[in-house]
Amino acid sequence: MSIVMSGAYAGLKVVDLSQGVAGPYCARMLRENGAEVTKVEPLDGDWGRGIGFASDGLSALAIVNNLGKRSIAIDASTSNGRMLLRRLCKNADVLIESFRPGVMERLGLSWNTMFEENPRLIYVSVTAFGPTGPYAARPGSDSTLQAMSGLMQANADKDGTPKKVGTVVVDAVTGVYAAHATAAALYKKSITGQGSRVEVSLLECALAMQGNSIVDADLTKDRSRVPLSVPAGTFMTSDGFINVSSLHDRMFAGLCRAIGRDDWVTDSRFNSAETRAENASAINSMLESIFASRPSAYWEETLSREGVVCGVVKDYASMQADPQVRALDLLCEIEHCSGVCEVPRVPGSPRNFPVDPAPRVGENTVEILEELGFGEQEIQVFFEEGVVVHTPSPRGYVAN
């Protein structure tokens, strides 16, 4: 089978101890490029399973960030539980964890311990605030880091009230950065034969994703802020909203042609980026009345024909029906316990690589224990002692 069909990480064994979004999404990115991912959860499951609406432990967070993984549920407070964790990690190529600093040490799974036992291991730690510093021991979430990183202030409304971005953008971006750093560590291992430690925090990723805005704020701290481009904004149409940007003079000329105002190109108020910025309020006000006269689809077609950057504001349902989204096959249909949903694919992953459903808590406990070399009687003892749990897969729970 070719690398494209099987994925670049075919044969790679990943043990995912992380919970929530950032670490699990990193592991999912590895999975959809061919890795075999074993998700290790506490007996009551990854806490992400209980966020928002959930059916049988399958919330949106659990479904999206754990596609294609196998799950084993272990009580790490028991000596046998810690033994099982150690056995799993010793056999891994990549270990991903998202505990606060010190937890892995208490479990006997510190970087130093695991590297000594498995010198080819890539050990990935995802934390809220990093391994050291005054906040290292604090818990943190996507919302916390949106607040502390400046993102909520950057997203403030017209009255200046800070607003959270309505999706877990910091968590998701952290997962991407973690996967990128893991890929670099794997490449290094392919050359040196040595494993390494990867440390990624929500804090550093929240800052990295806002680099342009942070530098712009620094450059303009002693002068009036200048809009990045004018005209630009989200305008009401006769049947919805459209977002329009004019990035340079040529695009502004195209905008003028699209709206039938060629005279604006030579108007002294609008004939350069500087004068448009000075008269932003006037030009945006006039555009509001113009765009309100026709439907969004008309403006999208007309503006696009003139080379103007624009996009109709859509809800998720209309986005899913978008012909470009369908043409690129950007969503995969997943059947789960309570029905079927469409999940965005990992960008760049092989389209013909099978995307399997997310597991329920401990769905693969027995088969994973068997692979570790435990016999039927030993496994039975683990169940009797409450070291592990197993949730059978429901009939018909398959991916398309």
- Catalytically active residues are 171
> Residues 15, 88: contact at Cβ < 8 Å?
yes
CA distance 124 to 26: 10
- Cα-Cα-Cα-Cα torsion 205, 206, 212, 218, nearest 10 degrees, comes to -120
**Alpha carbon distance, N-terminus to C-terminus of the chain:** 21
Residues 6+ apart with CB under 8 A from 203: 128, 129, 130, 135, 140, 145, 148, 149
Do the Cβ atoms of 219 and 271 come closer than 8 Å?
no
Map residue 339 onto helix, strand or coil: strand
Residue 132, number of CB atoms within 10 A of its CB? 9
CA geometry: angle 318, 350, 97, nearest 5 deg = 90
